[in-house]
Chain A
Amino acid sequence: MNHDFSKLPDIIEKHPKSPQSLIAVLQDIQKEYHYLPCEALKLTAEALDLPLSKVFSVSTFYNAFSLDPRGEKVIRICTGTTCHIRGAKQIEHQLETQLNIKSGETTEDMKFTLEVVNCVGACAMAPVVIVNDEYFGSVKLTDTRKLLKGGNNAN
């Protein structure tokens, strides 16, 4: 994975140079690169005058942060009780076959990452699939291709 890290100093500089900015900085880095590269963690620690161990501790604590490179599209399948009953498992299997990866993994072309989450609190529209930040409810097995393509009209 070769990334252009030249943007990192700008991202870090946008925030006040204090330990309190840590999560905000990490969030912006995650937004830009879809994950937290090692270089970014080291730069952040240096810039905010924090030990690297503290930065690592925070970035591994929150599920919103990922230390592994993730695809452009992060597909999250809700597997909460209601979604589970309404077929989340089948949707997961279908997406796994279509993308040829297991959930938690990223496709080789770095386009998609598949994840399962426990409950997103949208049980009324189960089963729910979230593509990046867009929520799709009452997802059917026949919808998965559309979800991967653009996510349009999946409802």
Chain B
Amino acid sequence: MVRLTINGRVVQAEKGEMLLVVMNREKISVPAICNHGAVEAFGACRLCTVEITKNDWNGWKNYVTSCLYPVEDGLIVSTHSETVINLRKTLLDLHLARHPHSEHVRQWAMEYGITQTSFEEIPDGDDCILCALCTRICDRMGFAAISTVGRGHGKEVAPPLNEPPPDCTGCLACAQCCPTEFITFSDSGTSREIWGKQFEMITCKECSKPILTKDFAETLSKTRNIPADYFEVCDECHRKATALTMGKISQWQREDTAS
């Protein structure tokens, strides 16, 4: 157990825990766009930067990304000091210059009072902030169908060889966790398209609503040991069937007690 002070409050934490995890638990909020509970911290967005110091540091301060900083005994953290806020403002200012069309980036910047970037805007800048959440989630799902490609200013998220990714199952995890909704897909009921790959959808046997892609269902039943016929019916209809069974059982019980 270690004891640290965050914004003047003494907090206890396990040794080795990351500062951001502790702050989340203590309901101390800092912006953390590239952070996601399902994957390891990555430190891409830098917005969770906080100011740290210790009593024996003689007034020296350090600025660290809290998502990647393991807590220590005697740490004194301030999440919204003037310097930290200025650091975040600069980051958001840069984001705004690079992704001028992203409504999300605009909103994050607005929260720190930035409505117009002070840097030169990239007029055709896309909405990808390169947080790599999509590729990390894809790894976590066990597919690793997409990855970051290239380096420096040419870096982007793309499927291998820029072809429809062979390992993609169309699960949409990447699109759903994308903080700027940059990853697009199209659903037409019976088919889905993402990363330039076409998928056939399984539709519910009962209500004919599309459930998930055939590829994803096959992978799930193989790797997670789920019976293949589980995906023939959607969750809602599964629940309806369960409710019906439960209703019948309680009716029998009532009849039993009555007779």
CB distance from A150 to the nearest CB of B (A): 34
The residue that B150 contacts in the complex, of A38, A53, A60, with Cβ under 8 A, is: A60
Q: Which residue numbers of A lie inside 8 Å of B, CB to CB? A: 38, 41, 51-57, 60-61
CB distance from B85 to the nearest CB of A (A): 34
Q: Please count how many residues in chain B sit with their CB below 8 Å of the partner chain's CB atoms.
A: 17
For A54, list chain B residues within 8 Å (CB): 144, 147
Contact with A along B157-190 (1 / 0, CB 8 A): 0011100011100000000000000000000000
For A60, list chain B residues within 8 Å (CB): 149-151
A52 touches B150 (CB 8 A): no
Q: Which residue numbers of B lie inside 8 Å of A, CB to CB? A: 135, 138, 143-151, 159-161, 165-167
Residue ID in chain A nearest B135 by CB atoms = A53
Residue ID in chain B nearest A61 by CB atoms = B151
* Distance between Cα atoms of A57 and B136 in the complex (Å): 13
* Distance between Cα atoms of A99 and B100 in the complex (Å): 41
B151 touches A53 (CB 8 A): no
The residue that A41 contacts in the complex, of B145, B148, B160, with Cβ under 8 A, is: B160
Interface centre among A52, A53, A56, A60 (most CB of B within 10 A): A53
* Distance between Cα atoms of A56 and B159 in the complex (Å): 9
B151 touches A52 (CB 8 A): no
- 12 A-B pairs whose Cβ atoms sit less than 8 Å apart in the complex: A41-B160, A41-B161, A51-B144, A51-B147, A51-B160, A52-B165, A53-B145, A53-B160, A54-B144, A56-B160, A57-B147, A60-B151
